[in-house]
Structure 1
């Protein structure tokens, strides 16, 4: 990789990291290429970005994006994007693959550990919350119509 390529990569990563709500750093040593493709496919479905980045370049980009504090060692794969989507992708993939281990994350302006990533991954997404709310709003109307229908059938039987 030439110096110009590195500058271009760091500037692109800085912009991406600045615009992302969550960044998860994971170890992937031992994963096959097929498994990494599964991770990329899962991430693409959630509109999340995944990339293996050298630690020195990642540190520079994170520093430029004001998201410092994560300790980067060994080989790492970075997952970034909307915070709930990132945590869901990382946690779901970690459950299925023993070689994929979440190390650290930067969420909501602070460095956090694996526990917070897993806790956030269990939270419902915005769409799921809207669906729950609509279901709650719809329940009284639905129960009322069921009651009216039962009353109608009872009156028909007695007549």
Structure 2
């Protein structure tokens, strides 16, 4: 299918806007996937908030220019599918990892997380990144620990005083 210059500009602009808003991007080779498998991947991606795009390489390179994912331009060769994650840095990697574990022949070429280039073999590490909610829970548990200790320490002072006074009272009662 031949695209006119206006369609190409529109594709570049749309992909550029998605890339600007993405926290992470995964570049994959989708050779060997059937249309049914790609459709299933896209459905799963929508559920997880990931945007999958199959774009011509030249258009993808133009779209990634002047974004935090510009480091991925070198890895765009051959059939390329891009997985953009707008909020969760590990969502795209988790999606690709899940599809690979289902037996889909996907090759991960490179991953960009907030402008940091990761090689395809680091998919497991990127997929293991916590979601925003998980990170907030971990942060809150770390922050609440010292506060809890301080409250316990402050609570222990009057408790110790009460126990001491009770021991004195019991001793006087026994005499």
Which TM class, normalised by the smaller chain length? 0.7 to 0.9
Question: Cα 1:131–1:108, aligned 2, differ >3 Å: closer, same or farther?
Answer: closer
1:44 and 2:46 correspond = yes
CA offsets 1:103-156 (integer angstroms, 9 cap, x no match): 111112122112333212123323345677899x9xxxxxxxxxxxxxxxxxxx
Structure of larger gyration radius: 2
Q: Show structure 1 runs of 5+ residues with no match.
A: 138-159
1:74 and 2:78 correspond = yes
Question: TM-score w.r.t. structure 1 length?
Answer: 0.76
* Displacement of 1:100: 1.1
1:84 and 2:90 correspond = yes
Give the alignment's Cα RMSD to 1 decimal: 2.4
Distance between the aligned counterparts of 1:133 and 1:75, measured in 2? 40
Q: Show structure 2 runs of 5+ residues with no match.
A: 145-175
Count of equivalent residues: 138
Match in the other structure for 1:31: 33
* Equivalent pair of 2:108/2:121 in contact (CA under 8 Å): no
* Equivalent pair of 1:94/1:102 in contact (CA under 8 Å): no
Question: Cα 1:124–1:60, aligned 2, differ >3 Å: closer, same or farther?
Answer: same
Question: TM-score w.r.t. structure 2 length?
Answer: 0.69
